Structure 1
């Protein structure tokens, strides 16, 4: 019988080491002894257990991507190699443990750069033929260590699965990728800015590719649009947005950032219908004191009956524009039941803003940063006493512009409190957050310290009144 076999069965309950027996007299926590019975498991099963211990992927609404593993000696998979010889041998013989790596260019450029490159080469070599996931951001393409890593990664492009290539240069050149290569297991792809050169890089022969992000859109990077379910870009022209939407009928998540206005754009009377689209974010360019309606050009050409999350972001818009009919037409045409709506400096007057909100009765979450010209007291007054206006709203996140908003007086806090009390009684509202740039005394005495405000908190309502900070205006993902 094997020395690892179980002994005679007993009716006694098993005695496990608990948190008290594992604490030394000096208060330090000590590790429990590794049971020899664990080593009796077949290597294949122990390897599968190791795989279950890898850091979880971060699939969020913002990134929709798998995060590569950052090598740390106290975390899997390296920690398995430090337990005992048997665990080390099993870990090194399990290729899928080594198929993910976050490459740190700072280490590659340090005095120990050669050793770090060798470390990366060994790590990836242990993966064998396993699909590879990695992230590599490097801005010194001439560095010897960088070139060695480029050759290593480019030569394994047929094993790419989830890849981030963040580099301000020509991707085909510095990775030496074929212009029309095959990527049989590629699922997620992120590419940084690309130089303006005539070379074209095609990922159309990537049958599994579903998630793509181009930090700066360029037609040089060709993607299999018809099979993508998620696409993000942070700089793009309005005309390119429409071309992508027409070719990407299976999109579920879409983000167009910094849409540049294309004044030669001719909107078609034929709408693009995306039956699977559930979340859409469109943002206009960052240039100050310019008038642009790029995001609305996208909505004007789109029909999205399954849309649940919509973010419209305008930056530095100086005045209201007659765009509310475009929004209302999109909502009516799509007949969608929006769950979450974020409006960042949506360039409409207060009355038009209320009209747009009234057209979305299914809203559960609302994020709003209105124009400075919107009258605060009228806004809160309209949100009180009308059951046809946002009857399903559960959370309301409001940010006043840094420059302030019209008609904020000593009575504004009373308007807010009246709205909260009414909505608490008659609607599902259970969360309200206000960020502002006013002196704290404007809201503190009348609102935060009022008995009604404290009663709402006691009843379980989540309430937050805080000072405005810069990044508030960019938290609209």
Structure 2
């Protein structure tokens, strides 16, 4: 409720307020402005509380998400499908499915690390500088985590040296040396390059 106004009678006329009425009106307006500011502050606090409450509710709904109840075996199968469907050609190593999955949560990391077949594919685009820099490390990691599963290794480079990004010397040869140490597990190995850009330069 608004406080009573002693100048409200002037609202129904075009009469000019006298000096006292002007001062009273200014004081009354100042009081109302103070109330408005206080009300806006209260509304802002309530809106902030509302937004926090909504986020809190949404976060706790995740506790009931069906994926949390999936058996480990089924979750592993989903991961395998994701790995097969991912277009790894030209993809930065850090974005390949297995290395992405282990960053989600501890359970997903445990499942991914406990599923050797997720780590049995190495697709390396050596035209990509980001891939070249991590190629050897990633190949070693995949061999370590893939257990005894058959390996699929694909390496390609089509851009000529003068066209491609800065070159890491002998990276293809280094990757091949790592792969050769596990050649007894090779299921599919593919090396592709152009005549002007041999892999083993």
Larger radius of gyration: 2
TM-score, normalised via structure 1 length: 0.23
Larger % of helix: which?
Answer: 2
